[in-house]
Amino acid sequence: MSKVLIIGFLALLYLDSAEALWCLYCPNVEYDNTCSTIQEICDAGNDRYCFTRMTIQHGKVTSVDRGCNSDCHTFKIMKNNYEEHMLCCGYELCNDLDLWNV
């Protein structure tokens, strides 16, 4: 009986990890598209998203960050002197875009 429970538990763990979405996490992407800190992988979990966000001021990219989120909407917000763009995607490590050269 205990073997059946252990096998069932391991199967659930496998299925849960098989559906997880892995994304790059970097709070500050440098100009050469590398992370200023150690780049990590975040687990977005089931039905979640990877994102890349960039800020543009006076027509020039000023910041880029990456991560994972449970709720993500691709958008472009234009303010007086800057724009913010959020790009969402839903497959493994899809948020590795080089947005410094757009």
DSSP per-residue letters across 48-96: -EEEEEEEEETTEEEEEEEEEESS---EEEE-SSEEEEEEEE-STT---
Three-state DSSP at 44 gives strand
CATH topology of domain 21-101: CD59 (2.10.60)
Question: Which phi and psi (to 5°) does residue 72 adopt?
Answer: -140, 135
Segments making up each domain of the chain, as ranges: 21-101
Three-state DSSP at 18 gives helix
Provide the 10 A C-beta neighbour count for residue 66: 26
Averaged pLDDT of the chain? 80
pLDDT in tens, 17-57: 446 788 999 999 999 999 988 888 888 777 689 999 999 99
The confidence score (pLDDT) of residue 13 equals: 35
